[in-house]
């Protein structure tokens, strides 16, 4: 019976001249050094829990995250953009996908096949690197966006658009209709989970990005839970007494000595991975937020690990 291989590190033939460029790229180390290579502390030790978005600009924590490219959290970049009347820009360069929420004004969004009108409250989800253009209307346009360019930069991979990542437009009217339906059905803590027709199982807007227009009616809450994916949450309407609690450890389903983050309109909250957290609307107005997570990585790896504290 033949051997399945001829590998014998103890009896190698005469050494080759190891001068190729490829051989010079080789780096190796022992387990001790492998285990000490993590250089960045947990996100909640280096990033704020929340900040107010500037009218215009990126939220760039690349210094804190020790990355060589703009990033808000390791895999996502958030920002606010503002275009004057008639100005135009391409979206999603260098990203796998991008989610955009129109904040003020209006305009249009166009790929090679169609042009759609944008109004406040619209959400668009786009493949990256397609030259999809946003153009401001006569009163200009302001929008919040999140893309996954940090992940693409990290991997150094080329992004290819497939039927799983297509230009998707959720109009403000469609979103309002869904919110009304859920309210009529007595659903107080849900909002609208957004998805793309090419991702029927994943329930994501791109293979990487999760998007959720979260609404909590007065008295409603997203009870304490944790998940592997970090989250960026843009507060559209924070109401008059809505807050998040975050922290660890958990005792009897409650976070011990949690940090409290009050919700303010225009705030961006950063939820670190695997940290226990909950959102509580103790005010008398419904609250609305847009939650974006790089959840596709964890979905594909079967490591979403969504857990509720009261089921521990
Ligand atoms: Fe969460």
Angle (nearest 5°) at CA 63 between 292 and 267:
35
Whole-number CA gyration radius for the chain: 23
| Contacts of 221 by beta carbon, 8 Å cutoff, 6+ apart | 189, 278, 279, 280, 281
| Residue 294 alpha carbon to ligand 1 centre in Å | 12
| Residue 113 alpha carbon to ligand 1 centre in Å | 36
| Residue 278 alpha carbon to ligand 1 centre in Å | 7
Report the alpha-carbon distance of residue 306 to residue 274 in Å, rounded. Answer: 9
| Residue 62 alpha carbon to ligand 1 centre in Å | 23
Specify the pLDDT at position 115.
97
CA-based nearest residue to 44, from 221, 245, 215:
245
The edge-to-edge listing of strands for the beta sheet with 307-308 is 259-262, 242-247, 276-281, 221-226, 307-308
| Residue 225 alpha carbon to ligand 1 centre in Å | 6
| Residue 21 alpha carbon to ligand 1 centre in Å | 46
Domains present along the chain, CATH in parentheses: 50-311 (2.60.120.10)
Report the alpha-carbon distance of residue 65 to residue 52 in Å, rounded. Answer: 20
| Residue 71 alpha carbon to ligand 1 centre in Å | 20
Give the H or E element holding residue 149. helix 149-155
* Residue 238 near residue 214 (C-beta atoms within 8 A): no
| Residue 171 alpha carbon to ligand 1 centre in Å | 25
| Residue 34 alpha carbon to ligand 1 centre in Å | 31
Q: Is 256 helix (H, G, I), strand (E, B) or coil?
A: coil
| Residue 1 alpha carbon to ligand 1 centre in Å | 56
| Residue 44 alpha carbon to ligand 1 centre in Å | 14
Specify the pLDDT at position 38.
64
Specify the pLDDT at position 249.
92
Specify the pLDDT at position 37.
65
The DSSP code sequence of 166-212 is: --EEE-HHHHHHHHHHHHHTT--B--EEE--TT-TTTT-SSSS-EEE
Report the alpha-carbon distance of residue 159 to residue 294 in Å, rounded. Answer: 16
| Residue 40 alpha carbon to ligand 1 centre in Å | 22
| Residue 230 alpha carbon to ligand 1 centre in Å | 8
| Residue 227 alpha carbon to ligand 1 centre in Å | 6
Specify the pLDDT at position 310.
87
Specify the pLDDT at position 178.
97
What would the two tokens of residue 253 be? 């389903």
Report the alpha-carbon distance of residue 146 to residue 144 in Å, rounded. Answer: 7
| Residue 82 alpha carbon to ligand 1 centre in Å | 29
| Residue 116 alpha carbon to ligand 1 centre in Å | 32
| Residue 222 alpha carbon to ligand 1 centre in Å | 8
pLDDT tens per residue across span 67-114: 999 999 999 999 999 999 999 999 999 999 999 999 999 999 999 899
Spell out, as residue ranges, where the chain has pLDDT lower than 50: none
| Residue 221 alpha carbon to ligand 1 centre in Å | 11
Report the alpha-carbon distance of residue 271 to residue 229 in Å, rounded. Answer: 9
Report the alpha-carbon distance of residue 271 to residue 233 in Å, rounded. Answer: 8
* Residue 280 near residue 244 (C-beta atoms within 8 A): yes
Specify the pLDDT at position 18.
66
| Residue 124 alpha carbon to ligand 1 centre in Å | 22
| Residue 110 alpha carbon to ligand 1 centre in Å | 32
* Residue 258 near residue 250 (C-beta atoms within 8 A): no
| Residue 212 alpha carbon to ligand 1 centre in Å | 11
Angle (nearest 5°) at CA 103 between 269 and 111:
110
| Residue 276 alpha carbon to ligand 1 centre in Å | 8
Please, is 62 exposed, middle or buried when counting C-beta atoms within 10 Å of its C-beta (0-12, 13-18, 19+)?
Answer: middle
Specify the pLDDT at position 29.
86
Specify the pLDDT at position 311.
84
């Amino acid at each position: 019976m033949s051997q399945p291989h001829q590998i014998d590190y103890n009896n190698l033939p005469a050494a080759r001249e190891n001068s190729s460029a490829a051989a010079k790229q080789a780096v190796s180390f022992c387990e001790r050094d492998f285990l000490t290579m993590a250089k960045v502390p947990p996100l909640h030790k280096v990033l704020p829990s929340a900040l107010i978005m500037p009218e215009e600009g990126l939220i760039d924590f690349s210094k804190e995250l020790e990355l060589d490219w703009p990033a808000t959290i390791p895999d996502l970049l958030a920002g606010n953009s503002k275009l004057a009347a008639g100005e135009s820009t391409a979206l999603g360069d260098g990203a796998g996908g991008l989610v955009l929420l129109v904040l003020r004004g209006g305009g249009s969004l166009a790929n090679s096949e169609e042009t759609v009108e944008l109004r406040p409250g619209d959400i668009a989800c786009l493949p990256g690197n397609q030259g999809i253009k946003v153009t401001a209307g006569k009163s200009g346009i302001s929008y919040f966006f999140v893309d996954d360019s940090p992940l693409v930069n990290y991997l150094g991979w080329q992004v290819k658009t497939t039927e799983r990542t297509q230009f998707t437009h959720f109009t403000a009217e469609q979103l309002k209709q869904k919110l009304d339906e859920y309210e009529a059905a007595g659903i107080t803590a849900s909002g609208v989970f957004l998805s793309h027709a090419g991702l029927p199982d994943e329930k994501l807007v791109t293979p990487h990005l999760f998007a959720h227009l979260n609404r909590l009616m007065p008295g409603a809450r997203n009870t304490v839970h944790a998940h592997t994916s970090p989250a960026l949450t843009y507060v559209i309407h924070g109401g008059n007494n809505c807050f998040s609690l975050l922290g660890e450890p958990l005792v009897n389903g409650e976070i011990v000595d949690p940090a409290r983050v009050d919700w303010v309109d225009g705030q961006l909250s950063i939820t670190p991975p695997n940290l226990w957290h909950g959102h509580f609307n103790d005010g008398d107005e419904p609250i609305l937020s847009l939650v974006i997570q790089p959840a596709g990585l964890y979905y594909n790896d079967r490591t979403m690990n969504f857990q509720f504290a009261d089921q521990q």
